[in-house]
Amino acid sequence: MKIYVLAVCILRKAMLLPLLMFIASTLVYAQQVYVSSQSSQIYGVCFACSVQDPENAIGSDESNYAFMRIPLGAFASIEQTLIFPSVKTYSKVVIGIGTNQAGLSVQLLGGVSVETFNGNVSNNDYRIVNNEILKIGATDPSKGTIEFTTNKPYDRIVLRFTSGVGLNGGLQIYYTYQLDKVYASSETRIIKCPGCSVQNPQNAVGPNENDFSKLIAPSSGSFYSVEQALHFPNEKTFTKLVIGVGSDSKPIDQVIDKEVKINTNITGEVLVELIMGRLKKDPQDPYKGVIEFITSYPYDQVVLNLSVSPNSARDLKIHYAYQENVYQPVTVASANAMKTVPIEKVLTVFPNPTTGSVTLQGNVDFTDADIFINNTLGKEVFRSKFRSKTIDLPATLPGGIYMLSVQTKDREIYTHKIILTR
């Protein structure tokens, strides 16, 4: 089914958006449930082995840490069991770690492992820390996170640190939290071009974040598209929507910015919410990334459309899509608190698509900002100082896809893809 955004729907969105932005600004607090208790155990004969300040791994304070130390030459291992307040199944676990050495790496952490338990019963999901679950800090490589998804009931994580690890400076454990997720539960696809396909479509559904579906578009002299819709169990409005994407053809930012359209909507309805400008590239792999977006309209599906043209990418990988509920702020009353996450800066452009004028909304500081627009080839076609939140696009611009960027006086840049229809 082809989705058309009717003029009346665009007008309706333009009228409602200021109200929705105000409501959303009070709701973008994601629920993170931190561990509430812990225990530790040292195995082997090692008088110099220790777990210092083990209680620092508990609760929402992410600045202090527990410290596991095994001296070089010792044959021992240390376990710290990190216990949550209740049993959960589908969630994301994030463990903040660090070292006194120059930087983290998979080689350095080769003997660190994680395993989930339901009470004292193992879920048999023991795993060594590898590139799939280790995320190294972009600004401080001596810190990072171990991140993985659970699909069995659990209430505790066992973190093991063995003498085979090259961490002479020991291992720091800052925090551990779980994040509720609702994954897409089914999918449909529309293939509009000869030779196009969607490989392994079911791999985009469910909690496995490592496998993927693959939208493939062979080289063509014509303009076509292939798309996949990922359906969620229930209709929701204010959520954080997270989509894992990748490509074998180009760095993922080039694919998403220029050749992919993403929108949410209620299945079968014409009013859609375009998702733009929220890609976070994987610092270890430029061909992978994550799209994060706070939704403001009811939806039960997200649709990813790969456009096919003579110069376009040839594939798009979709690893997963999930929703995180958003909550009103809560007061931190104890160590097993639910942490509130600061509101991120948001730039919204509407109407989009547009016939010539767009209005900027959001909590970005527009004072003395620069506005500039590039075409899909990266060429700048418009530049102006910020004078008004309503911008009239030059009449000389033909219809098509453009990138509108706002650069603040603090040199922060916010970019949105806009569609000009003339």
Write the pLDDT tens digit of every residue in 257-303.
Answer: 888 989 999 998 877 888 865 788 888 899 999 998 888 888 999 99
What CATH number is given for 347-420 in this structure?
A: 2.60.40.1270
Q: Per mean pLDDT, which of 77-86, 184-193, 309-318, 341-350 is the most reliable?
A: 77-86
pLDDT for 8:
32
Average of per-residue pLDDT values in the chain: 82
- Closest C-alpha to 406, from 376, 368, 353: 368
Residue range 49-59, pLDDT digits in tens: 999 999 999 99
323-379 per-position pLDDT tens digit: 986 543 333 333 333 333 344 566 778 888 889 999 888 788 889 899 989 886 667
Q: Please work out, in degrees rounded to the nearest 5, the angle formed at the alpha carbon of residue 167 by the alpha carbons of 117 and 174.
A: 50
DSSP conformation class of 354: B
Report which of 363, 415, 359 is spatially closest to residue 389, judged by C-alpha positions. Answer: 359
Q: What is the pLDDT of residue 219?
A: 66
> Residue 39: which pLDDT band, with cuts at 50, 70 and 90?
very high
Written as one string, the DSSP assignment of 279-343 is EEEETTEEEEEEEEEE--S-EEEEEEEEEE-TTS-SEEEEEEEEEEEEE------STT-EEPPPP
Residue predicted with more confidence, 220 or 18? 220
Domains of the chain, by residue range, sit at: 32-179, 183-325, 347-420
pLDDT at 14: 42
The number of beta carbons lying within 10 Å of the beta carbon of residue 33 is 20
CATH 2.30.30.30 corresponds to the domain 32-179: no
Tens-place pLDDT, residues 62-119: 999 999 988 877 888 899 999 999 999 878 899 999 988 777 888 888 778 999 999 9
Type and span of the H or E element at 253? helix 252-259
CATH architecture of the domain with range 183-325: Sandwich (2.60)
Beta bridge partners of 68: 51, 171
| Tokens standing for residue 296 | 């403001």
| One fold for 32-179 and 347-420 | no
What pLDDT shows up at residue 311? 61
**130-176 pLDDT tens trace:** 888 888 887 888 899 999 888 889 999 999 988 766 666 689 999 99
| Statement: residue 391 has pLDDT above 70 | yes
> What's the CA gap between 354 and 161, in Å, rounded?
56
Q: Is the predicted pLDDT of residue 5 greater than 60, yes or no?
A: no
Quick check: bond before 141 cis, omega within 30? Answer: no
Residue 240 pairs with which residues in a beta bridge? 294, 324
The owner of tokens 């040839």 is: 314
